[in-house]
Structure 1
Amino acid sequence: MQRVAADPIDVLRSRTSAKWRSFPADVLPLPVAEMDYPLAEPIAEALHAAIRRSDTGYHSGSRHVADAFQGFAARRLGWDVDPAHVTCTADVSMGIVEVLRQVTSPGDGVVITPPIYPPFFDLVTEAGGRVVEVPMRGGIDDGWGLDLDGIEAAFASGAGAMVLCNPHNPLGWVPDRTTLEQLAEIAASFGATVVSDEVHGPLAQPESPYTPFLTVSDAAREIGVTVTSASKSFNIPGLKAALMLTASERGDRVRTGFPYEVEWRMAQFGAIASIAAFQEGGPWLDGVLASLDDNRRLLADLLADELPGVRYRMPQATYLAWLDLSALGWGDDPAAYALEHAKVALHRGPAFGASVGRGHARLNFACSPEVLSEAVTRLAKAASPAVE
């Protein structure tokens, strides 16, 4: 498999995105979920062609993106998507908020599963809901899973919806079909809605295939709404395009209830790039997956050699590593220590849930092996005075 190589560090530091503008030049920035790989050529060419023809007006609706995703989903994900059941918007977070506004009333409980992508806490409240935390079960040693009993108890206590992260950010855990079937049955028994964020789905490694929630059962199709995008898999989050998918009359009522402007928030360049990604980006994505596989294994080796006290379980998907740095004695927020003493920027663990994130941090390994190695070396040097 031909790997996709990361851009050189001098090229990366010329980028103006959040990852490369949020820290001084002597810091290795590994917190933000952006990849260091060059843009897939079909996407770049599609965008260049749009510029050449001055195609910078409003996008022409959801259908063209939905049609492209239909082919991608069938080829890569084993998912039969009906483009007529797709509405686009600007990004996954916006889609989650709009779905929650349709399926909950102000003050309703919404289940999330810490440690979890930090914006989930804010998305629930933005939609008018109340966060109900049901932490993940298990851990680094034995692996993770949903606390289905806890989720059922939350629904029984009145929570009206759940935001599922499939695959899970920051754990890189991929729920299996049986787990998703059980979740769907529990939600259906209470009439609750499962909003499934599946933006990292195409980044699952081959030995841990991702299962789209809407494919697992009639119950899932009845109570589920999936929100996804090409943004993470193809590194185009700044171009703003996402898809909201349903597979039942109930789900369609959610989509048709959106305010008119929800669909028109998708950007023209986001639509153009997404179509190119879904139609022609497969070989590039295969190369990225191979590079990420190399790096997740390299990280395990580097930690074992240089920071054996740090606990890490190789993710099944995504390019994000959840690290338990507690043994280093760097406090509840070890990312702060790492930034000050190692000049390595990590994502703060407590932001993923105060009860489960203390002593942890998230690291983005979608970078070159050299950058990853340098980051671990810096962390190890910073740890040496603190570890006997």
Structure 2
Amino acid sequence: MDSSPRDTPASDQANPLCRLSLEQLRRRTSMKWRTYPDDVLPLWVAEMDVPLAEPVARAIVDAVTLGDTGYPAGTAYAESLAAFAARRWHWDGLAVERTAIVPDVMLGIVEMLKLISEPAAPVIVNCPVYPPFYQFIGNLGRPVVEAPLGQHGRIDFDALEKAFGQARTSGRRPVYLLCSPHNPTGTVHTAHELADVAALARAYGVRVVADEIHAPLVAAGATFVPYLSVPGAGNGLSLMSASKAWNLAGLKAALAVAGPDAADDLARLPEEVSHGPSHVGIIAHTAALREGGDWLDALLTGLDHNRRLLAGLLAEHLPALRYEPAQATFLAWLDCRPLNLHADPATVFLDRGRVALNSGRPFGTGGTGFARLNLATSPDVLTEAVRRMARAVE
């Protein structure tokens, strides 16, 4: 089943976030579990504390047993994503012939920027935003123009129009890198907001590239709207992947999706880019989208429960800290400014509480005084983390 109400917390048996002990997790060798000493609770980088969904694990084992570890080929990934989009988002507009496999979302974004804009063309972002936006854009030699988010983390269209106008003065065609759902705030942009983005972009001659990697991870009561589904977005490009929703960051694969008016742009993507994704990764992502719906529903229920749990824990132990449960992602954006720490909050929580969070500073303007917490862990770990954070600021 690929859609179901999520009114009650998942049971420990059904909830993937309750399946692994801290001892089991510390046997992992990924970045999350090897960056800090064992006395630190790592609630930072975007890895989830879950086992693989059974259909995904089975597909990987079958591929390895067969020795199917060569170069990627075919359209199975795109077909599975198109079917998933139709089931989950009621969007039938994802055309397989207007897709291309890319190594991952960020490298795909780099390739899209190369396709649709000149070297040194400005890139507009809504800050605070995912730090690799700044890193990858900078490494590409492009200037970043910030359009700060408005109240409650929503797009501020006055700020966005100002940024579009500023970017146009460069004499090069700018690109708006839209984060949807937004990282770190977890904001889910509405269909009306996205249509306004498309209209404003066309009015200013700005191309839109949407990072939609968190699209499957939407909280109960919220609805994800694909950017390419709204009126006026036909010349847009989107990057999608199963990596965040099924914890497949180590199995590299993503899809670039073009709107009808951007098909010719995507067709110019160099053939060698398709060699970058992992073939086993594509097999895993395809299985997730095709057969991982029940697992995803259990995860979403667990995340809904953790959002409520975190809100209650913070109200009890750190009442001055401001937190608004997100509409999407498995991330929490914590406003620590009322704590008056006189230091970066993430540094305080790590040094004094032995809890690793992401500092808000690398997220750009508006990030100072904030910290990002990854709540895709067990309720027990989340509870202990908040208790440690409270002790750190006593």
Normalised TM-score (structure 2)? 0.93
CA shift at 1:127, angstroms? Answer: 3.1
1:91 maps to which of 104, 111, 115 = 104
CA shift at 1:10, angstroms? Answer: 0.7
Q: Does residue 1:243 correspond to 2:255, yes or no? A: yes
2:78 maps to which of 62, 66, 69 = 66
CA distance in 1, matches of 2:306, 2:379: 7
Q: Which residue of 1 aligns with 2:153?
A: 144
Q: Does residue 1:121 correspond to 2:130, yes or no? A: no
Q: Which residue of 1 aligns with 2:54?
A: 41
SS of aligned partner of 1:220: coil
CA distance in 1, matches of 2:342, 2:44: 18
Q: Which residue of 2 aligns with 1:333?
A: 344
CA distance in 2, matches of 1:202, 1:58: 27
CA shift at 1:332, angstroms? Answer: 4.4
- 1:367-386 matched pairs, under 5 angstroms: 367-384=377-394
- 1:175-254 matched pairs, under 5 angstroms: 175-217=189-231, 219-222=232-235, 224-249=236-261, 251-254=262-265
CA distance in 2, matches of 1:324, 1:56: 45
Q: Which residue of 2 aligns with 1:297?
A: 308
**Cα-to-partner distance string for 1:142-168 (whole Å, 9 max, x where unaligned):** x22112122222222316111101000
Q: Which amino acid aligns with 1:375?
A: A
List alignment gaps of at least 5 residues for structure 2: 1-9
CA distance in 2, matches of 1:94, 1:332: 33
Identity %: 44
Contact 2:311 2:323 in 1 (8 A): yes
CA distance in 1, matches of 2:201, 2:19: 42
CA distance in 2, matches of 1:238, 1:83: 25
Q: Which residue of 1 aligns with 2:286?
A: 275
CA distance in 2, matches of 1:367, 1:198: 22
SS of aligned partner of 1:238: coil
**Cα-to-partner distance string for 1:227-261 (whole Å, 9 max, x where unaligned):** 01000011001100000001213x11221222221
CA distance in 2, matches of 1:280, 1:263: 24
Q: Which amino acid aligns with 2:123?
A: V
Q: Which residue of 2 aligns with 1:166?
A: 180
CA shift at 1:79, angstroms? Answer: 1.5
Normalised TM-score (structure 1)? 0.94
CA shift at 1:125, angstroms? Answer: 2.1
Q: Which amino acid aligns with 2:253?
A: A
CA distance in 2, matches of 1:268, 1:45: 15
Q: Does residue 1:131 correspond to 2:144, yes or no? A: yes
Q: Over aligned residue pairs, what C-alpha RMSD do you find?
A: 1.2
CA distance in 1, matches of 2:153, 2:392: 30
CA distance in 1, matches of 2:254, 2:275: 11
CA distance in 2, matches of 1:304, 1:375: 14
CA distance in 2, matches of 1:383, 1:129: 40
SS of aligned partner of 1:132: strand
1:7 maps to which of 20, 23, 39 = 20
1:342 maps to which of 339, 348, 353 = 353
Q: Which residue of 1 aligns with 2:165?
A: 156
SS of aligned partner of 1:203: coil
Contact 2:130 2:183 in 1 (8 A): yes
List alignment gaps of at least 5 residues for structure 1: none
SS of aligned partner of 2:372: strand
Q: Which residue of 2 aligns with 1:261?
A: 272
CA shift at 1:3, angstroms? Answer: 2.6
Q: Which amino acid aligns with 1:240?
A: K
Between 144-153 and 356-365, report the one with greater CA deviation. 144-153
Between 369-378 and 78-87, report the one with greater CA deviation. 78-87
SS of aligned partner of 2:289: helix
Q: Which amino acid aligns with 1:78?
A: H
**Cα-to-partner distance string for 1:145-203 (whole Å, 9 max, x where unaligned):** 11212222222231611110100000011010100000000001122111100000110
Q: Which amino acid aligns with 1:322?
A: W
CA distance in 2, matches of 1:377, 1:117: 27
Pair 332,258 (structure 1): closer, same or farther in 2 beyond 3 Å: farther
SS of aligned partner of 1:226: strand
CA distance in 2, matches of 1:208, 1:383: 34
Q: Which amino acid aligns with 1:155?
A: F
Q: Does residue 1:358 correspond to 2:371, yes or no? A: no
The size of the alignment, in residue pairs, is: 375
SS of aligned partner of 2:234: helix
Contact 2:20 2:51 in 1 (8 A): yes
**Cα-to-partner distance string for 1:267-307 (whole Å, 9 max, x where unaligned):** 11111001100100000000000000000000000000000
CA distance in 1, matches of 2:259, 2:118: 22
CA distance in 1, matches of 2:270, 2:207: 19
Q: Which residue of 1 aligns with 2:39?
A: 26
Q: Which residue of 1 aligns with 2:3?
A: none
